Chain A
Amino acid sequence: DAMVIQNPRYQVTQFGKPVTLSCSQTLNHNVMYWYQQKSSQAPKLLFHYYDKDFNNEADTPDNFQSRRPNTSFCFLDIRSPGLGDAAMYLCATSRGPPRTSGRVNEQFFGPGTRLTVL
């Protein structure tokens, strides 16, 4: 089945120790997104790639970076995790392009990675 896969499902890191979260997709979608969801809150978009075009949200901290080496994979790097970065990180994909109506922009989510910062 075509899907969005996130690894690992649970990640524990120490305060200040860099961590990388992984997302892969078999849907061959052009757009990949990273969201942060804290407990009992709505998911918040951090950034997205449309093909190789990177789009950062204005309020995403510099501590968060992303890489998309190919169509299938996208990585979230947290350079110096703080206690406030503990959250569920959700990866999503859509065919795109963004800012258009229709099923091309239906977003499909992975199972998420829960990050704990000690």
Chain B
Amino acid sequence: KQEVTQIPAALSVPEGENLVLNCSFTDSAIYNLQWFRQDPGKGLTSLLLIQSSQREQTSGRLNASLDKSSGRSTLYIAASQPGDSATYLCALLGGSQGNLIFGKGTKLSVKP
């Protein structure tokens, strides 16, 4: 059964810092990996999708990588801003279950 872990659970950084959020998973038989952002009390916004054949995707200040052999993905946020404050969730589309399996998320706070 696929398990997804995100470390740290919470992170606080000063504005302008570059930061890395981590996601690890136990089953490398995945179709896709998606990173989402969730603001308090809101739905999920898709940030990046990495297909199983890809190693990374970039969108603006965000870069996500995927290493299936080690069961890891990272989300890199460059030059963080207070507006980046949110919970970031990693989710895998798994081979055996065929649905998204989520981590619990990393709650990011960027201080002005």
Which residues of the other chain, B, contact A82 by a CB distance below 8 angstroms?
A: none
Which residues of the other chain, A, contact B32 by a CB distance below 8 angstroms?
A: 101-102, 105-106
Contact B105 A42 (CB under 8 A): yes
- Say whether chain B's binding surface is mostly helix, strand, loop, or mixed: strand
Which residues of the other chain, A, contact B102 by a CB distance below 8 angstroms?
A: 42-44
Contact A109 B43 (CB under 8 A): yes
Interface residues of A in 89-118 (CB under 8 A from B): 90, 92, 98-103, 105-112, 114
Which residues of the other chain, B, contact A48 by a CB distance below 8 angstroms?
A: 99
Let me know if A19 is at the binding interface, CB within 8 A.
no
A106 with B100, Cβ < 8 A, contacts A42-B105, A101-B53, A111-B43 known:
no
Let me know if B18 is at the binding interface, CB within 8 A.
no
Q: Which residue of A lies closest to B107 (CB)?
A: A40
Contact A110 B43 (CB under 8 A): yes
Q: Interface code B72-90, partner A: CB below 8 Å = 1, 0 otherwise? A: 0000000000000000010
Interface size on B, residues (CB 8 A): 26
Shortest distance in angstroms between B105's beta carbon and chain A's nearest beta carbon? 7
Let me know if A87 is at the binding interface, CB within 8 A.
no
Let me know if A70 is at the binding interface, CB within 8 A.
no
Q: Interface code B39-63, partner A: CB below 8 Å = 1, 0 otherwise? A: 0011111100101110000000000
Let me know if A45 is at the binding interface, CB within 8 A.
yes
A/B interface sample: 13 pairs, CB < 8 A = A43-B102, A99-B98, A102-B31, A103-B49, A103-B51, A106-B34, A109-B36, A109-B45, A109-B46, A110-B43, A111-B43, A112-B43, A114-B41
Interface residues of B (CB under 8 A from A): 4, 31-32, 34, 36, 41-46, 49, 51-53, 89, 91, 93, 95, 98-100, 102-105
